[in-house]
Amino acid sequence: MTALTIRVASEILLGEDLGRERAAQFHEWMHIAGIEFEFSPSTVRLNWLPQRISPEFKQAAEGIRNLSEEIIEQRRAKLATTDEDQPPRDMLALLLRAEADPAVTYPETQIRDEVATFLIAGHETTALSLTYTLGLLARSPAIRDRVRTEADSALGTEQPRYDHLTDLSYTRRVYREGLRLYPPVWAVFRQASEKVKLGDYVVEKGSAVILPQWSVHRDKRYFDDPRKFDPSRWERRSPNAVSAYFPFSTGPHSCIGSQFALSGATLSLARLTQEFDIEVVAQELRNLRPTPTLRPVKGVMTTIEPLS
């Protein structure tokens, strides 16, 4: 799933397909970063960041920076030979064209840092959510069959496109439900900017505040039969109207790429389910690691059979 999502994100956002080899290398760098920032939720502090940065993490960070610069130079070279009447509109192309605007002044590393950020944020959470949702579908054959039927009707043999989404409403609810039970970002961390009362509690200015999606999404006060994988719950309620459902965080600092993730993941889920039987044993979704994202400790062992 990581190889899939990083190649999709890089091609759509940056105009460059990383290819399988570079995608695998990027995945390894992200794995190193996850280990560096792993922590216990019961002992989290605002200063939980590592006191010493490991040589492995420094090497991974340098690799990501170098890859970002390589992508920028490749894109810059291609844009130099592009027809100006039909300019590409990927994010990186827009950033590079803005360099010529005298009203725009970028800091020296601005574009590189933007590329690195979109590479990191644009793929990992989607890869994790697809992994967990496919695992849930493997345990729910009736739901999987319904997704497959919808995909056959909506996609047929065509390549998935954005305009197919209107005919993939059930698949979208399935993905929403996967995000509820296995939110890739398992908690949001904030710091109180002023003293405030929340219910019976007073939060002092400067206090650490944790909004744990993992716990809230599984709380029976907010969801009927909360541990059940039940996409139909989103027929009865709109996700946007449920304040206790916030897989992309909430408020002014919510994820800027939420619609990109929802669209891409829904299309991917439909195509994967249409073309393959993907089997995951239940135990594979239990051994998870709380890094900044919720990761499987040893990956998720899966058997995949193409459908005839």
Active site residue 189: no
Per annotation, catalytic residue among 118, 223, 248, 260: 248
Domains of the chain: 1-40+51-122 (no CATH), 126-185+221-308 (1.10.630.10)
Q: From CA 264, how far away is CA 162, in angstroms rounded?
A: 8
Under 8 Å between Cβ of 293 and 184: yes
Beta-carbon contacts of 303 under 8 Å, excluding residues fewer than 6 positions away, are 278, 279
Lowest-pLDDT range, 94-98, 156-160, 194-198? 94-98
Q: What is the pLDDT of residues 235-272, one digit of tens each?
A: 989 999 999 999 999 888 888 889 999 999 999 999 99
Biggest CA-to-CA distance, the chain: 63
Cα–Cα distance between 191 and 185 in angstroms, integer?
17
CB atoms within 10 A of CB 90: 17
Reply yes or no on whether 125 is catalytic.
yes
Which of 5, 125, 171, 293 is catalytic? The answer is: 125
Q: What is the pTM of this model?
A: 0.88
Instruction: Say how far apart CA 255 and CA 257 lie, in whole Å.
Output: 5
Kindly give the pairing relationship between strand 288-290 and strand 276-279.
Answer: unpaired
Neighbours of 10 (CB within 10 A): 26
The residue from 39, 57, 250, 255 that is catalytic is 255
Q: Helix (H, G, I), strand (E, B), or coil: what is residue 276?
A: strand
More confident residue, 144 or 53: 144
- 131 catalytic residue (yes or no): no
User: What are 230's two structure tokens?
Assistant: 């039940």
